[in-house]
Amino acid sequence: MAATRLFLRASPVKCSLTGLTGGVHSSLGLTLLKLSPACTAKPQAQRRHAAHFTYHPEPAPSQYGPTQKMNLFQSVTSALDNTLAGDPTAVIFGEDVAFGGVFRCTVGLRDKYGKDRVFNTPLCEQGIVGFGIGAAAAGATAIAEIQFADYIYPAFDQIVNEAAKYRYRSGNMFDCGKLTIRSPWGCVGHGSIYHSQCPEAFFTHCPGIKIVVPRGPVQAKGLLLSCIADQNPCIFFEPKILYRAAVEQVPTEAYQIPLSQAEVLQEGSDLTLVAWGTQVHVLKEVAAMAQEKLGVSCELIDLRTILPWDTETVCKSVVKTGRLLISHEAPVTGGFAAEISSTVQTYESTWIFKFPPQPHKKVTARESKYLSLYFALF
């Protein structure tokens, strides 16, 4: 289920939404709720929906050379292909990667590059990541696959205690920067508890690693190549619902999209929307609906890198609009939206004052009140 946190500065100056003071809790919520495509105000009997959003491909980038139509898993294969071609130390391993992977992300690579570079591991996540850390520390570009993000927990100790802290504890003598862990992530509709999880929040509590979530094929290839090139261990979560649904013109040559830079997809003046992965597309539709039905101009930001995240872009945007809505698939409590909201609140220039009064870092002169509302989009 997605969780969304909404911050409003209830100042009439910036706000064109109705019923903001007083009964805002119910009326604004219900107003926004009616906009939401996937839920109704009253609970109903279950209806089966297809994907809860439509994927709109972005225009082909022109600066990276010739492009080819690819979906998300093909763009991942292309990125891995470029890596194996350009870096002789690169190896790919994980469960079932040899035949192509359960999501077809590694199709053809074993035949092309040999079984010593693309190989299966037994069923042991802790072993896979530990092994990857060692291989990376010894100088190989190790690209490990965890078959589903839900299975990453046996490897949690290896990632948090070994990978993340290697450089620091050895005084920069050793590092496993050449390690990249790729994993299918997120809701897919029929995954239930063990094929749908989004564990990025667990890992954001750990300095030393980088976490990246792309929103589409062009982004995926560029971000994955950046992760592989980055000199820090990276976890790359691929939204599994987009593997086939997202089709775009993707450059065939290698290119990189910088990490720790959020992208503003749509400029706006009334509300900042922040999301990553699949939710970016849901919020695109929300932004369109808000513009059409309420005349609200939304600024949509794709966070891209979750750790370390681009605080500047998000905070500057909130300064401009005065309102922030963050949407993610993981549970609300302890989800990454909590971290974003807390940082935005303490950011110097946002001039936000909490209501009811609570201890806060910056006290401002303006008498503006802000409320936080939570709602989930599915």
Partner 1 sequence: MFPFTQKHKIAFNLKIYFPYPAICKACWQLTIISKIKLVVVSARTYADFTPQASFDIKKCDVHKLEEGPPLQAVLTREEGLQYYRTMQTMRRMELKSDQLYKQKIIRGFCHLYDGQEACAVGIEAGINLTDHLITAYRAHGYTLTRGGTVREIMAELTGRRGGIAKGKGGSMHMYTKHFYGGNGIVGAQVPLGAGVALACKYLGKNELCVCLYGDGAANQGQIFETYNMASLWKLPCIFICENNKYGMGTSVERAAASTDYFKRGDFIPGLRVDGMDVLCVREATKFAAEHCRSGKGPILMELQTYRYHGHSMSDPGISYRTREEIQEVRSKSDPISMLKDRMLSNNMASVEELKEIDVEVRKEIEDAAQFATTDPEPPLDDLCNHIFYNDPPMEVRGTNPWTKLKSVS
Catalytic positions, please? 125, 195
Instruction: Between 190 and 361, name the residue whose CB sits nearer to partner 1.
Output: 190
Instruction: Between 264 and 376, name the residue whose CB sits nearer to partner 1.
Output: 376
Beta bridge partners of 118: 92
Neighbours of 205 (CB within 10 A): 10
CB of 293 to partner 1, least distance (A): 17
For every residue of 24-90, DSSP letters joined together read HHHHHHHHHHHH-SS--SS--S----S-SS---PPPPPSTT--EEEEEHHHHHHHHHHHHHHH-TTE
CB of 123 to partner 1, least distance (A): 5
Contacts to partner 1 by CB under 8 A: 1, 26, 29-30, 33, 36, 39, 41-43, 45-46, 95-96, 99, 120, 122-124, 126-127, 150-151, 154, 190, 192-195, 332, 373-378
List C-alpha distances in Å: 274 to 54, 311, 323. 18, 11, 11
Instruction: Between 338 and 376, name the residue whose CB sits nearer to partner 1.
Output: 376
CB of 121 to partner 1, least distance (A): 9
Instruction: Between 232 and 279, name the residue whose CB sits nearer to partner 1.
Output: 279
CB of 373 to partner 1, least distance (A): 7
Question: Considering just the CA atoms, what is the radius of gyration of the chain in Å?
Answer: 21
Angle between helix 24-35 and 279-294 (nearest 10)? 110
How far is the C-alpha of 178 from the C-alpha of 343, rounded, in Å?
30
CB of 229 to partner 1, least distance (A): 31
CB of 205 to partner 1, least distance (A): 22
Beta bridge partners of 374: 5
Query: Could you give the residue ranges of the DSSP H alpha helices within 182-321?
Result: 200-204, 217-229, 242-245, 279-294, 311-321
H/E stretch holding 302 reads strand 298-302
Instruction: Between 229 and 377, name the residue whose CB sits nearer to partner 1.
Output: 377
Short-list 128, 39, 114, 41, CA closest to 84:
114
Instruction: Between 264 and 373, name the residue whose CB sits nearer to partner 1.
Output: 373
**Geometric angle at alpha carbon 75, from 134 and 145, rounded to 5°:** 25
How far is the C-alpha of 123 from the C-alpha of 133, rounded, in Å?
17
> Residues 91, 92, 94, 97: what is their CA dihedral angle, to the nearest 10 degrees?
-140
